[in-house]
Structure 1
Amino acid sequence: MLALYYFPGNASLLPHMMLREIGQEFELRLVDRGQNAQRSAEYLKLNPNGRIPVLVDGDLVLFETAAIALHLADKFPQAGLAPAVGTAERAEFYKWMIHLTNTPQAEYRAWFYPHEHVADEAAAPAVKQAAGERLNRMFDVISKQLGDRTWLLGSRFSAADLLLFMLIRWGRGMPRPPRSIPNLNALAERVLARPAVQAALDAEGLKAPIF
């Protein structure tokens, strides 16, 4: 059986939503960040980086959110969470998955944990502010690329939309949250309406306001 190590609202939300969309039986295993469980010796055997999530698929132990997402899309093609391999649509899917994980998702690290980026704690607020400004520019670019399309790939829903939804949610505490951009808000609302997404949010105890 598949097992997903998660913490509510963390990057594990993406594979969790995907597993619900796939409809495959899986087990949720809580990594209690409140108890620093992600740094426990047991968890570090699964992910030596001490970050969440981890997916266990038989003998395969996989960390890195985007890698888990791509594995699930490949393992369960019948779920339609990615276009067919070798197509131009699949290349566009890769583009969005890599961009979203390498650009806004990575930038959020400086927004949420600015103290990790400074030697002097007094500089942390400036690091946070600069990260927020960079995130604003990133979401403006994503909005322009999305335009008036329904999904990132046009008329086709994919795991990339789930990833963008998660990132929009993460920005809910920013001075200018991503949801304030009309087309990003509309996409997030469409994702939120999906039964599998509702099931994942309910299972994690995530209540309104979602984003």
Structure 2
Amino acid sequence: MLSLYYYPGNASLLPHMMLREIGAEFELRLVDRGQDAQKSPDYLKLNPSGRIPVLIDGDLVLFETAAIVLHLADRFPESGLAPALGTAERSEFYKWIIHLTNTPQTEFRAWFYPHEHVTDEAAAPTVKDAARERLDRMFDVISAQLGDKTWLLGERFSAADLFLFMLVRWGRGMPRPPRSIPNLNALAERVLARPAVQKALEAEGLRAPIF
């Protein structure tokens, strides 16, 4: 059976939503960040970086959110969460997964944890403000690329849309939250309406306002 190590609302939400969309049997294993469980010796054996999530699939122990996304898309091709291998659409899917993980997801680290980027705590607010400015520009670029399409890949829903939904949610506390951009808000609402997404949010105890 698949096992997902998670903490509510963390990056683990993305593979959790995917597993619900797939309909696979899996178990959730809470990594209690409130108790620094991600730094425990047992968890560090699974992910030496001490970050969440980790996916266990048989003998495979996999960390890094984007890697888990691609593994699940390959493992369960019948789910339709990624276009067929070898197609131009699959390459577009790769583009979005890599962009979302390398650009806004990475930038959120500086927004949420600015103290990790300074040696002088007094400088942390400037790091956070600079991250906000960069995130604003990043979401503007994503919005322009999305345009009036239903999903990032056009008319086809994919795991990339789940990824963007999670990032829109993460930005809910920003001065200009991503939901304030009309087409990003509309996409997030479409994702939120999916039954599998509702089940994942309920299982993690995530309540409104979601984003």
- TM-based fold match above 0.5: yes
Q: 1:36 matched to which residue of 2?
A: 36
Structure 1 counterpart SS, 2:170: helix
Aligned-pair distance for 1:21?
A: 0.1
Q: 1:125 matched to which residue of 2?
A: 125
Q: 1:191 matched to which residue of 2?
A: 191
Taking structure 2 as the reference length, what is the TM-score of the superposition?
A: 1.00
Q: Are residue 26 (structure 1) and residue 29 (structure 2) matched? A: no
Structure 2 unaligned residues grouped into runs of 5+: none
Structure 1 unaligned residues grouped into runs of 5+: none
Residues of 1 paired with 2:165 and 2:121: CA distance? 31
TM alignment of 1:115-154, pairs within 5 A: 115-154=115-154
Q: 2:103 matched to which residue of 1?
A: 103
Aligned CA RMSD, in angstroms, stands at: 0.2
Residues of 1 paired with 2:41 and 2:193: CA distance? 39
**CA deviation string 1:164-207 (max 9, x = no partner):** 00000000000000000000000000000000000000000000
Q: Which letter does structure 2 place at the counterpart of 1:31? A: V
Structure 2 counterpart SS, 1:83: coil
Aligned-pair distance for 1:109?
A: 0.3
Q: 1:65 matched to which residue of 2?
A: 65
Count of residues in correspondence between the two structures: 211
Aligned-pair distance for 1:51?
A: 0.1
Runs (4+) of structure 1 exceeding 4 A deviation are none
Residues of 2 paired with 1:122 and 1:165: CA distance? 33
**CA deviation string 1:127-164 (max 9, x = no partner):** 00000000000000000000000000000000000000
Identity %: 85
Structure 2 counterpart SS, 1:27: strand
Structure 1 counterpart SS, 2:162: helix
Residues of 2 paired with 1:127 and 1:49: CA distance? 23
Q: 1:168 matched to which residue of 2?
A: 168
